[in-house]
Structure 1
Amino acid sequence: MPVSALFTPLARAVTYTRWVHLLTGVLPAIICGFVYPGYEGMTPGRQLWLLVLPVPLLIGWAMVPSARLAEGLQARLLLTAGEHARDRRDGSSDDGASGIAATPSASWADRVLTAVWLVLRLEVGCAVGWLCVRLPQLMGALIEAATGGTGDTGAGLRISGGHWWYALLAPLPLAALAAVVVGLGWLMAAAAPRLLGPSAAERLAALEERTERLLEHNRLARELHDSIGHALTVAVVQAGAARAAGSAEFTDRALAAIEETGRCALDDLERVLLLLREDGARRPAERPGLADAERLLESARAAGAPLSAEVTGPLETLPGPVSREGYRILQEALTNVLRHAGPVPVRVRIRVAPDAGRGAPDAGRGALELDVRNPLPTTGTDTEAEAVPDPAGRRTGGSGLRGIRERAALLGGEADTGPHAGQWRVRVRLPLDGAPHPTAYGAPRPTA
């Protein structure tokens, strides 16, 4: 080991923050010393009481849940190095990097480990505090003895003799103090994750929270894909139709449809970006629901697709999740029609089915039924088994249909897509009381 490696810890800031952490451990002993036995006429025997008297008080403090939070924050800030030592701006903390939890005690096991940690801090802090006083005194005594005097070490021992070589020994107490600070600092940093680390339940909760955030980001990305994909598809189809028509009136209608579709897509984009940035200055716009389905139907008609729609039942009374997911499913179905079949005749049926009769399998459960049909394109269909060419000659996959099935499964419903009686059909049924299915992709974790 090179000699320079011995001095490397002294160049690290965390060494000195750990030193501060070690010294703060002696504070309970100092405070108790003022009460009993007092510092006047303090003998070495009485000094040992300072290692014992604060213990019951520390154990009592450890029983308070917030004690673990305070100790965890202090240990994370002073014993660990790097960005993981600080809480993030979103209020979460990276316990996986530092290994130290900064949460109140949630069980008696947490309280017991906190008590062990506080007692350990007391004993180590008293030892470091004593050495921080005595070792510099020993160094001064060696220097004084080297000059011919009698050096007092402060512990009842005196050094005399007037030997000049005592001066060569003077740096050794400081070197020993530095070694003790580095070693005990490392020891406390190693003990903190074991005594203050997150429990198995806390680790599971943190993992579930992280999974929820990832699933929420995936959901937002899917919504953004649906919205922007629909807008771009309508714009491309409208622009191509306007160029082929060569009519100023048709071009005006096409531009108006592109403008309206683009404006809606920009609103969706702004809402998603606000959620991703977690900007609380502005409230994000509400997600569209099936009550706004007419906007989708008009954009498809404006793209040149002869569209007939049949709407049965009050769409305004649909539950929020069902209405929003139904809107996105309808949007994706119409986008697939325009993208893969072009402006072909489309038949859309939206039906809010009433509660089934008593004794029926779906008794007490109304449902939303969506049915979108269009003639099969001559160049192929959108399937998941293989990529197929679209009318423009590009190749595409079946992620849109997979997204439709995932949205339906999320609400406990079902989706059927594929050729049917010479047509391409997307048929979806969503129960009106459908809560997120626990095994569905993207389903959030139930909360108490």
Structure 2
Amino acid sequence: MTAAPRRLARATLGSRARLRWVHQLLGGALLMPFYLLANTVLALFVPGTSIFMSPSIGWQFATFALALPPAAVTGLYPLARPLMGGAVRALCGVPKEELDPRPSRSWAARVRTAAWYVLHLLTGGIVSGMSLATPPAALYLLVLPLLGDHGRAHDTGWVAFFRGPGLALAPAAGLGLLALVVATSWAAGSLLARCAPVLLGPTPADRLAEAERHAMRLALRNRLARELHDSVGHALSAVSLQASAARRVLDSDPEFARQALAAIEETTREAVGELDTVLGLLREDGPASSAPAPTLAGLDGLLRRTRAAGGEVDCAAPRDLEKIPPVVSREAYRIVQEGLSNALRHAGRVPVRLRITLDDEDLEVTLENPVRPAAAPRRPGGGRGLTGIAERARLLRGSAASGERDGVWRLSVRLPLRGDAR
């Protein structure tokens, strides 16, 4: 057998084709209650008919057509989509990524599911009927030349075509009928497999909603990463420096060591509170922490803890920091916190110049510190602080710039006071 016939045989008689044929038989079985209901309704309203006898082929097709509308109504049930999707994945070979496993939530999804159900029952009814009626007729035609007079005794209807010389064509006609069933089943299965992602997959509205939910989850993850990096990261850096300073002067300057230990206690207390606030964003089964996020109103405490860690900070800020909008004030606090933490971590005990200016439109934060020639080695896994600062500024429609010039590292951030957060 050459390659082309082998591929044709595999496509029409292979395991996938057989599973799709079973799927269509399932559709025919699901159609039967609606077919019997339609047959009963027609028998009640058409004189001279009976529910136990179909007068003609036309009657059967009319009953078949009448059975589809009530089937479409049942397809509107929300749970119909995951049930049908499971059968499609198992029997039609459609990847689960192309189907929506959730119940239908909108009328658009329900209508598409109902359309799929009607298509499944329509093709399933046709293939099931052919699978039941055609094989006996095909077998009869295959053995008709061997029956002799017994076969000619039944030369009625369509069998009469094979009288005389036409008898030699009976086996070929039988094989043709079987091939017709196989071809019809293959075509119907391919049609259902092609239509399944369109009718049982996510609607455009579902895809848009899922994209929005993904964007919200990503934004929340980025927010949590920034908060943890700026709050807990800063606290750990400050505690490390404070403990190091206390250890060096423990014998020579006990008073400074006590101040450093007190600063460690205060820093860790603040860090635990901020950590609880951040983790509150993750709790879905309980209330979030009521501890407010720090703002520029707590700038003095931040400067005190930084100085206790060995930093020299020269700060110039307006007195009315409490009047800054809360969102802007929170983000500005985190930016100052991260800037001071970077200075301590990378430059060491160098003087830091902090300037906060405020006008009717913008809040500007500027931090400057000299760069030591032998700066501390870069911490593995670090480098996200400046990225977080830029993200915070961008979310408030502001800007951030940083860089070294003439031996001085400068961080400059502008935050609009009336800019809506994105």
* 2: CA distance, partners of 1:296 / 1:340: 18
Offset of residue 105 of structure 1: 5.1
Offset of residue 303 of structure 1: 0.6
* 2: CA distance, partners of 1:114 / 1:417: 55
Query: Structure 1 residues 349 and 22, CA, compared in 2 at 3 Å: closer, same or farther?
Result: farther
Question: Runs of 4+ in structure 1 displaced over 6 angstroms?
Answer: 1-7, 14-18, 131-138, 176-183
**1:79 maps to what in 2?**
88
Q: Where do 1:126-141 residues align within 5 Å?
A: 126-127=125-126, 130=129
Offset of residue 188 of structure 1: 2.5
Query: Structure 1 residues 112 and 98, CA, compared in 2 at 3 Å: closer, same or farther?
Result: closer
- Is it true that 1:297 corresponds to 2:303 in the alignment? yes
Q: Where do 1:256-405 residues align within 5 Å?
A: 256-269=262-275, 272=278, 275=281, 279-285=283-289, 288-290=293-295, 291-312=297-318, 314-353=320-359, 356=360, 362=361, 367-373=362-368, 375-379=369-373, 390=375, 392-394=376-378, 399-405=384-390
Choose the corresponding residue for 1:425, options 400, 405, 410: 410
* 1: CA distance, partners of 2:338 / 2:97: 39
Query: Structure 1 residues 118 and 81, CA, compared in 2 at 3 Å: closer, same or farther?
Result: closer
Query: Structure 1 residues 130 and 266, CA, compared in 2 at 3 Å: closer, same or farther?
Result: farther
Choose the corresponding residue for 1:46, options 51, 59, 67: 59
Choose the corresponding residue for 1:218, options 210, 219, 222: 222
Q: Where do 1:18-167 residues align within 5 Å?
A: 20=26, 23-37=29-43, 39-43=51-55, 44-55=57-68, 61=73, 67=76, 69-81=78-90, 96-98=97-99, 103-104=104-105, 116-127=115-126, 130=129
* 2: CA distance, partners of 1:298 / 1:280: 35
Offset of residue 25 of structure 1: 4.5
Question: Across the two proteins, how many residue pairs are aligned to each other?
Answer: 384
User: What per-residue deviation string (whole Å, max 9, x for no partner) do you get for residues 114-143 of structure 1?
Assistant: 5643431331243355468769999xx9xx
Offset of residue 185 of structure 1: 5.5
Greater RCO (CA < 8 Å, at least 6 residues apart):
2
**1:153 maps to what in 2?**
none
- Percent of aligned pairs sharing the same letter: 37
* 2: CA distance, partners of 1:422 / 1:230: 24
Paired residue type of 1:24: L
* 2: CA distance, partners of 1:42 / 1:423: 96
Paired residue type of 2:413: V
* 1: CA distance, partners of 2:379 / 2:64: 76
Query: Structure 1 residues 17 and 127, CA, compared in 2 at 3 Å: closer, same or farther?
Result: closer
- Is it true that 1:235 corresponds to 2:234 in the alignment? no
* 2: CA distance, partners of 1:252 / 1:16: 81
Offset of residue 337 of structure 1: 1.2
* 2: CA distance, partners of 1:295 / 1:378: 27
* 1: CA distance, partners of 2:321 / 2:401: 22
Contact 1:101 1:196 in 2 (8 A): no
* 2: CA distance, partners of 1:266 / 1:185: 61
Paired residue type of 1:326: A
* 2: CA distance, partners of 1:284 / 1:177: 64
* 2: CA distance, partners of 1:180 / 1:340: 74
Q: Normalized against structure 2, the TM-score is what?
A: 0.68
User: What per-residue deviation string (whole Å, max 9, x for no partner) do you get for residues 50-92 of structure 1?
Assistant: 2222455567x59xxx93855533332321249xx9xxxxxxx
3-state SS of 1:126 partner = helix
User: What per-residue deviation string (whole Å, max 9, x for no partner) do you get for residues 412-440 of structure 1?
Assistant: 1122434579754333221122123xxxx
Offset of residue 338 of structure 1: 0.7
Q: Normalized against structure 1, the TM-score is what?
A: 0.64
* 2: CA distance, partners of 1:351 / 1:55: 73
Offset of residue 41 of structure 1: 2.8
Offset of residue 280 of structure 1: 1.4
- Which runs of no fewer than 5 residues in structure 1 stay unpaired? 86-93, 142-155, 158-175, 357-361, 380-388, 437-442, 444-448
> Counting helix residues as a fraction of each chain, which structure ranks higher?
2
Paired residue type of 1:289: P
* 1: CA distance, partners of 2:28 / 2:265: 66
Contact 1:412 1:434 in 2 (8 A): yes
Larger Rg: 2
Offset of residue 261 of structure 1: 3.0
Contact 1:417 1:427 in 2 (8 A): yes
**2:419 maps to what in 1?**
434
* 1: CA distance, partners of 2:267 / 2:130: 75
